[in-house]
A and B are shown apart, each in its own frame.
Chain A
Amino acid sequence: MNSLPFQSLYDCLAEFQQRFNAHTRVKKLVVNWDRSIVVEATDSASVATMMIKELHVTEVLSGAHPDTSNPIHLQAGESALIRIFSGDYNPAHALIEGDLAVFSSEKDKVKLEAITMVIWGL
């Protein structure tokens, strides 16, 4: 397997934040969709939260800061999460392979699937 492009999950999410914010088409998908997405590694202590507000990922926080009304929680091994958020591992494949778990409302799952397809394609 190739070496991971990032040393830590936090670094990877920080880079993803820039990619997300620079993407014009993805903004159409996140209109009125302010959420906090908790990203948790199952094989290490790494947990981070991406805050999406007014069409942007405004910050990446260390630790879990779940939204009480619309919680979104992603779980996978740390290397899988890094590969997913750096575009090396199709999240749809990761879900099918059982490497990724997504806990949220059905509507938010549909939205997440759409976001990943816009950013990384099929």
Chain B
Amino acid sequence: MFKKLSELLFYISFGAGLAFGTSSFTIIAGLFEVVSAPWVLAAILASGLICVLISLSVAELASMYPSAPGIRTYLKIGLSDQISLVLTFLYLVFMVLVAGIEANMFALVLSAVFPAVSPVAAISGLIVFTVVVNCFAIEFPRVLQVVTTLAMILFVIGMGIYGVVSSPTDYVFTSLAAGCRHEEVFLLPIAMVMSIYLFTGFEWVTLLGFSPQSYERRIPVSMPLAIATNVVSYSALTVGLACVMSRVQIHETPIPQLPYLTALLGGSGAHVACGLSFLAVFSTFNAGIMSGSRLMYTLTREGKLPRWCAIMWYRTGTPIGAIFTLGILSLASSLFIYQFRLELPAAIVGSSIVTLVYAAFMLAALRLRKSQHSVRRRFASPVPVWAQWLVIVVLLLIGLSTLVSSPVNSGQVAIGLLAAFVIAIALARRSHTKSTAAIGDTQGDAS
């Protein structure tokens, strides 16, 4: 019983920790730029609910193909090889963007607290550290993952509550309602897309099942619980921020945790914010690079990426080709975002990509119920089919809304999305052409 409970706790902490990064604070600040506090809460709740519904479909897919590289397998079998390839490469672009945003936000906090540290040095240091850790295959103990995530989430909830109780009661209601207008409902779609970013990563737990039985209950249950945990922590933070800082003060900084904790804790608040940001970046960054490099390695072994991505270090058995490639791409992305201060547009581009991928997951699950009905499912989503279709339509519509109602320069978001699609389609076409040529060569040899 204890073993099963600790396994479940690990899955929840992995999903929640991967989703809760330093850039989550930036997104919450960005949400305040779009809508007022009550609508920020509504967007977080609505996106959380949608992600729970998505997670149930992902759990069904994972129960059919346990431990498979989810995005590639589910979409290849459920939709088509080409669609799967394009979306897998899009997801890799998203991971590189997230690494760039995370490194930037961590560097900003570090430089604000320790002015002698230049942001570029902090960004480079973080990425080099992560690459080295991955190359040496240093695996942090599971208990450390659970403890750090739990500490971070409890601290964020605690600080949110502290922000509320330290404000006068009548001020809490006034500040929460400040600037709230009914017309903001039209901005809810873009706020929801941004909020989906806050939960992204919960699905990576499907790679980690300890045993076949894990896919029957523990993994399916862990994803909604991880999302619910983050809904609570983000909501507490939102309310706390609204009580302590004005809306303008919140969204004029990409690192609102710093002024917030300084306002609450005084001089030591900045150092506490730095510690909190370290905890947040720890799980997201490490797990992200590791998962991304394994995905690249798998694609290389499938013949979809250049062979050097599969170069291996014999001493540890780690795919250093993929790790270095992802590290270099992450560094380039970080420096580009830093140079042009593009963290929020990059996050919105990433969020739109993920919205599309999540819609594809749900579609794949529905299609597989017809085409692969004989494959054993250890878990089936209890969500009615019509509701799953509704979520797919909502995801596609809100994803498109980023092109017309982005809070930042819509042109930047549109160009970013276009660039991501061009890269993904070009990579997919290249690998498809190579595969076709390889088949042709084989047939030629045979004849």
Q: List residues of chain A with CB under 8 Å of any chain B CB.
A: 25, 28-29, 71, 73, 75, 90, 92-93, 95-98, 101-103, 105-107, 109-111, 113-115, 117-118, 122
* A122 and B314 within 8 A (CB): no
Q: Which residue of B lies closest to A111 (CB)?
A: B317
Instruction: State which of A25, A92, A103 has its C-beta within 8 Å of the C-beta of B301.
Output: A92
In the assembled complex, the CB of B99 is this many whole angstroms from the nearest CB of chain A, namely: 18
Interface-located stretch among B29-37, B59-67, B111-119, B388-396: B59-67
Q: List residues of chain B with CB under 8 Å of any chain A CB.
A: 64-69, 72-73, 76-77, 137, 139, 207-212, 214, 290, 294, 297-298, 300-303, 307, 310, 312, 314-315, 317-319
Instruction: State which of B64, B139, B310 has its C-beta within 8 Å of the C-beta of A106.
Output: B139
* A101 and B319 within 8 A (CB): no
* B312 and A98 within 8 A (CB): no
19 A-B residue pairs with Cβ-Cβ distance under 8 Å, sorted by A, are A25-B314, A28-B315, A75-B212, A92-B298, A96-B73, A96-B76, A97-B73, A101-B65, A101-B66, A102-B67, A103-B67, A103-B210, A105-B139, A106-B290, A110-B318, A113-B298, A114-B319, A117-B301, A122-B301
* A103 and B66 within 8 A (CB): yes
Question: Within 8 Å CB of B307, what residues of A?
Answer: 122
Q: Select the residue from B68, B290, B317 with max chain A CB neighbours within 10 A.
A: B317
Cα A107 to Cα B307 with chains together (Å): 22
Q: Which residue of A lies closest to B213 (CB)?
A: A103
* A110 and B317 within 8 A (CB): yes
* A96 and B208 within 8 A (CB): no
Cα A117 to Cα B309 with chains together (Å): 13
In the assembled complex, the CB of B321 is this many whole angstroms from the nearest CB of chain A, namely: 11
Q: Which residue of A lies closest to B313 (CB)?
A: A114
* A101 and B67 within 8 A (CB): yes
Q: Select the residue from B64, B65, B207, B301 with max chain A CB neighbours within 10 A.
A: B301
Q: Which residue of A lies closest to B317 (CB)?
A: A114
